[in-house]
Chain A
Amino acid sequence: MLGFLAKRLASGVVLVFAVSAAAFMLISIAGGDIARTIVGDAATQQQVDQKAAELGLDQPLLEQYWSWLGAALRGDFGTSWFTNLPVTELLLTKMPITLSLALVGTVVSAALGVALGTIAAVRRGIVDRLLQVLVIAGFALPGFWLALVLVSAFAVQWGLLPATGYVPFGFSPAEWARSITLPVAALAIGVTGATAQQVRSGLIDVLRQDYIRSLRGRGLSNANIVLRHGLRNAAPSALTVISLQFINLLGGAVIIERIFALPGLGAMTLDATTQGDVPQIMGVVVLTVGIVVTVNLVIDVAYGWLNPKVRIR
């Protein structure tokens, strides 16, 4: 198990390096005359060249990447080319917002999805029918469109919840909850159906197993059989889909943050990529891939904990 985790960790680190290198090459090669964009059209060619030298753009590409990597390994992601703010600091202030959305969205959709999937698997019938509709609707209706519908109903028409803005948790937990309710709902609705679907089919598979019949033969209660033995055995497949949903929501946050004017990583990515702000893009890329790698490691540990066969090996 430990050896397995070490391998996964190493593979994750390689992934972060590979993606950062690929991203750096991609944006740098196709970046155009970024120094000109920064100093403005009115600047002289000399000013432009000076800016380029200042940013290290006159160096060979590999050298640029190398010096970025050296600094990054020391925890220094440089400063934004456009705002001159340190990227590390920017990332740290914006990360809580995006993580709030993705984590709360994952937890909410996972809880709803497990509950709904379990009911659908056990009861079938009407709940199952409704779940199929939710799955298709969640898959087909884009999250950003749902967000707009929610905004126009809850914020514009009824004025129940704020349409925009973010309140930090430390400032006021209640306001924080209000500020992320609509964005989280917009993110979670779509993936809840998918999670529920996975739980449903996983649980149906498990409930068909011989050992479930044996447990029934021992006179154990239905609740015990479904909730303890059934869900426990269906957990690994549910966990896989939930972790994929988290990655999904992390990406989905880019659009949702734009709609609700939340100053998170997504909004930052959008601005940075439209401007071509290399240090910011690189910071975001490394951070998101790092988060994903971490989540996958956590899932691997959970997997081993859930599956005795993996644990012992």
Chain B
Amino acid sequence: MTAGLDPVAVPPDATAAAVGPRRRGGVGRLLRNPLAVGALLVLAVVVLTALFAPLLAPGSPTHADLRAVLAPPGPEHLLGTDGLGRDVLSRLLYGARTSLVAGVTAVVVAVLVGVPAGLFAGYHLGWFDTVGNWIVNAIIALPGIVVLLVVISAVGANMVFVMAVFGVLISPGFFRITRAATIRARAELYVDAARVSGLSDARIMLRHVLPVVRAPIIIQASMMVGVGISVQSGLAFLGLGSAREASWGAMINDAFANIYGAPGLIFPPGLAIGLTVASFAVLGSALRDALEDDTGGSTSAAPADAHEPSVEATPQGSETVLEIRDLSVRYPGAGGSRTVVSGVTLGVSRGEVLGLVGESGSGKTQTAFAMLGLLPPEAEVSWSSLAFGGEDVRAGDGSALAALRGRRMAYIPQEPMSNLDPSFRIGTQMAEPMRRHLDVSRAEARRRATTLLERVGIRDPERVLAAYPHQISGGMAQRVLIAIAISCNPDVLVADEPTTALDVTVQAEVLDLLRDLQRERQMAVILVTHDFGVVADVCDRVAVMRHGVLVEAGTVTELFGRPQHPYTRMLLASTLEGKEPRQRLLEPLGGAR
């Protein structure tokens, strides 16, 4: 590394700045969660009990009174006595001590072992990381209780020591969390910058990496204290605890011995363990929610502009295939619902290509998804009418739309690679819709798939059919998706930026293919795009969308010739500005090439 170069100007507390506000919000959020508050209260009681057991307990936890064996609850013994006449309440209170010491010992050791090792491994990688991972995998593969039994047989039932060994056994969790977070943090710019500016590795880890891993470690620790308490109880139940100390596990052991005489004895210690461990778990997951889950809305769409009324983008005269009126899409959120599409009316006729244009966040993709019935379940969708081929299919539950999908309406996505199921061969994925909608045999579906692949310009269809998605290129994947979309002869094709994710050279080919298929099959196409070049190339009509409403609509000739809305003019200008004039733009619009 080139240490000693000009120190790059990095705010020393860049991480703190990133983490700080989140944490403060986190604590507040934690205290607003009633479950978390309940868990904290339970744990406060347990901790206080453990600290002040001698003051609180009515008697000695170990004093056996053989005249009062298995006494029922009464004024003298509030929870009765056990098989040796010991006061159950006192044992319960002292047991909290044993449990907490056990859980905390295990976690402290686990953190001391796992966190530094994880930091080091994640920071330096290399041989230490390899060895560390091997050891971690080995530890995970061991049945913990067998290891603990072996340790106990070797060193005796020293609870603190045994729980420390257990801490080593659960350290892999901490190691992995720390390692992963460290690798992530290291990939961030500020660590590199800190290295360049000559900070020592140890300082970098303490100042930049540790704050990032703090939250997940606290969460894991909370869970693991509970696990430690459980394990210690189990060992005590087996009679491997110290006989002089009261513990919840030992109480269950005594209850087990008297299960016929006093079956109720299992409840006080069992519930004590259950409540305590559950509280640690609840606290852990509440911490996770408060500290880690910072994600807000689920879409990138900006709120709709309510001031501007939406124009209509319906075809004139000719045979309308699909028309939706007054489409609105809202997402409920913390601060009231957000409208991302508002009052949109549009339609396409047979053999027509409608371009739906707008910047990202304008609601164009949301509109396309809504017309296909593909919005996420949390979206609130409404429209006044939806007609397909002249028939009203407005059933609100989406079942009417579902019946059309794949068969009469098909969808071509933006990202080819993420839109093929990685676990299934392409042939299987191509055959599925045909088998369902066209009711053809497996062999027939395969034959048709081959023909379709040839049609979309794939030269070795057999190889592609047998391939998994990760084995083909993005351009090829998009051709496959197009082939699937047209496989059941749809009337309408909805294509969501079908070329955006592709290489420039492949873009033109795929666009040509789409246009040819559209003409050949006289499909109606709704083409979502932000690219006016694409619009000029393939569309008949255009609808321009901004802030969830249609601001302008018309034929391509009209819109390119006399754009009315300032937003359209701006978009057009930005498309043309600073670029070489595209060949296709200079050609007669919609003309053959």
Contacts and interface: CB of A to CB of B under 8 A. Distances in A.
A220 interface: yes
B259 interface: yes
Contact of B150 (A142, A229, A281, A292): A281
Given A219-B433, A270-B149, A289 B418 contact: no
Interface in B460-499: 468, 470-471, 481, 484-485, 488
Interface residues of A, number: 69
A156 interface: yes
Contacts of A26: 150-151, 154
Contacts of B237: 142, 144, 255
Given A142-B233, A229-B421, A252 B145 contact: yes
Given A142-B230, A233-B423, A312-B468, A270 B238 contact: yes
Contacts of A233: 421-423
Contacts of A309: 422, 468, 470
B484 A137 contact: no
A154 to B, nearest CB: 12
Contact of A149 (B137, B266, B437): B266
B410 interface: yes
Contact of B263 (A23, A156, A224): A156
B145 A145 contact: no
Contacts, number: 196
A214 B411 contact: yes
Interface stretch (B19-27, B277-285, B572-580): B277-285
A139 B153 contact: no
A217 B149 contact: no
A84 to B, nearest CB: 20
A292 B419 contact: no
A103 interface: no
Interface residues of B, number: 73
Among A140, A217, A251, the most chain B Cβ lie within 10 Å of the Cβ of A217
A152 interface: yes
Contacts of B423: 229, 232-233, 306-308
Interface in B347-383: 369, 372, 374
A210 B154 contact: no
B406 A148 contact: no
A79 interface: no
A292 B146 CA distance: 12
B155 interface: yes
B405 A152 contact: no
Contacts of A136: 278, 281-282
Contact of B143 (A221, A273, A288): A288
Contacts of B155: 30
Contact of B141 (A15, A31, A214): A15
B142 A211 contact: no
Contact of A251 (B140, B143, B282, B437): B143
A142 B134 contact: no
Contact of A140 (B249, B277, B424): B277
- The 8 lowest CB-CB distance pairs between A and B, nearest first, are A219-B406, A217-B411, A140-B278, A30-B154, A273-B153, A251-B143, A219-B405, A140-B277
Interface of A: 11, 15, 18-19, 23, 26-27, 29-31, 136-137, 139-142, 144-145, 148-149, 151-152, 156-157, 209-211, 213-221, 224, 229, 232-233, 244, 247-248, 250-252, 254-255, 258-259, 269-270, 272-274, 276, 281, 284-285, 288-289, 292-293, 296, 306-309, 312
